[in-house]
């Protein structure tokens, strides 16, 4: 049996293993001891289930290919699988007024899996799921998942399924946003620096966009205002993801120690996230006056305060 890891042949000898499952167990332990993760594997060019490997005698497996990656690779794989699962559930439910007993049982297993995957992802991407509202208003991600879990056992009417599908669509939007954030983190450092530099250079334009949101709300152009707000918030999220990635790659820098005019970077970004949450809450309540005050006065001041930190970060990482 020939064993390959990422197309490189592994020179190893068996130590009493009697089936393929036992071999995979030992190799996986070795992989994880080196800080890596097993993404997937094939046997004789075919993908098989992990449980099925227990039934394979060693002489049946001529070649085993294992594909190993970093933590980011695992999250990316999980997001792809999660997105596919959400699409599958949505397709199954559209047009239905009830589920079979098996479909209900499968769904009750699937929703906790979704929750588990999101929890493992939020730490790496530095996310606060309670403050993220995929539609800009309405439920946050934690509330969406909780609602899906609670409803999964009682999809016995058209109205119940329609409500479940609304939550599922919001979750789909969030997964699309997560994929975008992950793409930013995967960028080369030169690309991350370019994102930060572009934000510094175009700071006035970003502030103007947020003020345009208020102007369009005030003139009754709610749809246009929402589009501009979504785009502007997306740029902020891209910037924050770039900052998280840069900080992770430069552990030699004392990020917590960076302070300008008595404020830290973490205090500024926390205030920024809080401000965006208040905007979303005000929009949900149709309190355009309060949202407008934040957009026109509070948010521009926070963005102005963020720029000196970004300039300092550019100096530190480009030394």
**Maximum CA pair distance of the chain?**
76
Q: What is the mean pLDDT of the chain?
A: 86
Say which residues have a Cβ less than 8 Å from residue 138's Cβ, sequence separation at least 6.
Answer: 170, 284
- Asked whether the predicted pLDDT for residue 138 surpasses 80, the reply is no
What pLDDT was estimated at residue 135? 65
- Asked whether the predicted pLDDT for residue 211 surpasses 60, the reply is yes
Q: Token pair for residue 304? A: 């102005």
Residues 244-291 have pLDDT tens digits of: 788 878 878 888 888 888 888 888 888 887 887 787 777 767 787 888
Please state the φ and ψ torsions of residue 132, each to the nearest 5 degrees: -100, 120
pTM over 0.85: no
- Asked whether the predicted pLDDT for residue 44 surpasses 90, the reply is yes
Tell me how far apart the alpha carbons of residues 245 and 243 are, in angstroms, rounded to a whole number: 5
Tell me how far apart the alpha carbons of residues 260 and 25 are, in angstroms, rounded to a whole number: 51
Tell me how far apart the alpha carbons of residues 236 and 268 are, in angstroms, rounded to a whole number: 13
Strands of the chain (E only): list them: 2-5, 8-9, 37-43, 63-69, 259-260, 263-264
- Asked whether the predicted pLDDT for residue 136 surpasses 60, the reply is no
Buried/exposed code over 62-85 (b: 16+ C-beta within 10 A; e: otherwise): eebbbbbbeeeebbbebbeebbee
Residues 22-41 have pLDDT tens digits of: 999 889 888 888 878 888 89
User: Could you tell me the fold of the domain covering 2-69?
Assistant: Ubiquitin-like (UB roll) (3.10.20)
């Amino acid at each position: 049996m020939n064993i390959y890891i990422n197309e490189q042949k592994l020179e190893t000898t068996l130590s009493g293993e009697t089936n393929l499952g036992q071999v995979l167990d030992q190799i996986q332990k070795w992989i994880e001891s080196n800080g890596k993760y097993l993404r997937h594997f094939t046997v004789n060019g075919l993908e098989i289930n992990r449980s099925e490997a227990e039934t394979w005698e060693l002489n049946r497996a001529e070649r085993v290919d294992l594909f190993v990656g970093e933590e980011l690779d695992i999250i990316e794989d999980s997001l792809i699988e999660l997105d596919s699962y959400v699409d599958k559930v949505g397709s199954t439910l559209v047009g239905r007024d009830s589920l079979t007993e098996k479909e209900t049982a499968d769904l009750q297993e699937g929703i906790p899996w979704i929750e588990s995957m999101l929890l493992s992802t939020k730490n790496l991407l530095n996310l606060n799921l309670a403050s993220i509202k995929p539609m800009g208003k309405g439920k946050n991600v934690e509330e969406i998942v909780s609602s899906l879990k609670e409803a999964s056992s009682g999809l016995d009417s058209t109205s119940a399924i329609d409500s479940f599908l609304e939550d599922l669509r919001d979750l789909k939007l969030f997964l699309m946003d997560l994929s975008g954030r992950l793409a930013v983190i995967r960028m080369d450092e030169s690309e991350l620096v370019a994102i930060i530099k572009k934000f510094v250079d175009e700071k006035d334009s970003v502030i103007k966009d947020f003020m345009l949101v208020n102007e369009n709300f005030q003139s009754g152009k709610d749809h246009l205002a929402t589009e501009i707000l979504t785009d502007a918030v997306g740029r902020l999220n891209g910037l924050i993801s770039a900052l998280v990635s840069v900080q992770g790659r430069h552990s030699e820098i004392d990020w917590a120690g960076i302070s300008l005019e008595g404020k830290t970077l973490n205090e500024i970004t926390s205030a920024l996230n809080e401000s965006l949450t208040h905007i979303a809450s005000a929009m949900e309540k149709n309190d355009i006056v309060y949202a407008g005050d934040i957009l026109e006065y509070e948010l521009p001041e926070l963005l102005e305060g963020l720029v000196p930190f970004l300039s300092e970060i550019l100096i530190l990482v480009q030394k």
